């Protein structure tokens, strides 16, 4: 009983929380970001939020979970805001738009460029750059299931693009089949 009273009468300050949790939070943030300077920036932002909201803490027993909840939410907000610039121009030269022979590969990049950004970036990272879906999730600051969903939806949009533009069809197994259009007949590459 004395232990409970002691906990409930403990007054926490931003400084005491810094001394207690800063190193653990720094390791947690760095494990997600892998950059020292950015880790320090996010850590500072977390402690600003802690400082501004410490008076709202209801249960003193849950201080650690409160601190880590703020840290997690701040980190997720940072990762969600962070845009991974992935210019289409960075794609390897073997996706050249000036090919002599018009093929399905010729239409691929224009189709990807026309996808909504929500699907374009995950698809470029996974299908063109060869990143694992878990890496795509980390790079884009989204959940693994979110990355999988966006990649799958992007693939479906590409499939539909080939069916609309190039008159491909789905076979019994669900694969695209057909002969590719001449460049002059291609709706996308004209």
Angle formed by the axes of helices 63-81 and 14-33, nearest 10°: 40
Give the pTM: 0.47
* Contact present, 188 and 182 (Cβ < 8 Å): no
**Per-residue confidence band for 10, with pLDDT thresholds at 50, 70 and 90:** low
Among the listed residues 66, 70, 63, 16, the one whose alpha carbon sits nearest the alpha carbon of residue 43:
70
Q: 88-185 in CATH: which number? A: 1.10.10.10
**Per-residue confidence band for 182, with pLDDT thresholds at 50, 70 and 90:** low
Q: Which CATH class is domain 2-81?
A: mainly alpha
Model pLDDT for residues 80-139, shown as the tens digit of each residue: 665 444 444 455 444 444 445 556 666 777 788 888 888 888 888 888 788 889 888 888
pLDDT at 35 over 50: yes
Q: Domain-by-domain residue ranges, the chain?
A: 2-81, 88-185
């Amino acid at each position: 009983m004395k232990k409970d009273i002691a906990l409930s009468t403990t007054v926490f300050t931003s400084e005491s929380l810094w001394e207690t949790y800063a190193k653990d939070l720094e390791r947690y943030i760095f494990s997600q970001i892998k950059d020292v300077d950015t880790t320090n920036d996010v850590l500072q932002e977390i402690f600003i939020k802690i400082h501004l909201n410490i008076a709202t803490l209801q249960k003193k027993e849950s201080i650690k979970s409160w601190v880590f909840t703020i840290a997690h939410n701040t980190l997720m907000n940072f990762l969600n805001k962070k845009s991974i610039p992935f210019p289409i121009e960075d794609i390897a030269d073997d996706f050249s738009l000036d090919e002599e022979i018009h093929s399905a590969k010729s239409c691929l990049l224009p189709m990807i460029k026309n996808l909504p950004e929500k699907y374009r970036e995950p698809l470029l990272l996974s299908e063109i750059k060869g990143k694992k879906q878990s890496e795509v999730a980390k790079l884009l600051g989204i959940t693994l299931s979110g990355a999988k969903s966006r990649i799958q939806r992007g693939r479906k949009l590409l499939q539909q693009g080939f069916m609309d533009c190039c008159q491909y069809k789905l076979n019994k197994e669900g694969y695209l089949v057909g002969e590719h259009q001449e460049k002059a007949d291609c709706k996308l590459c004209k």
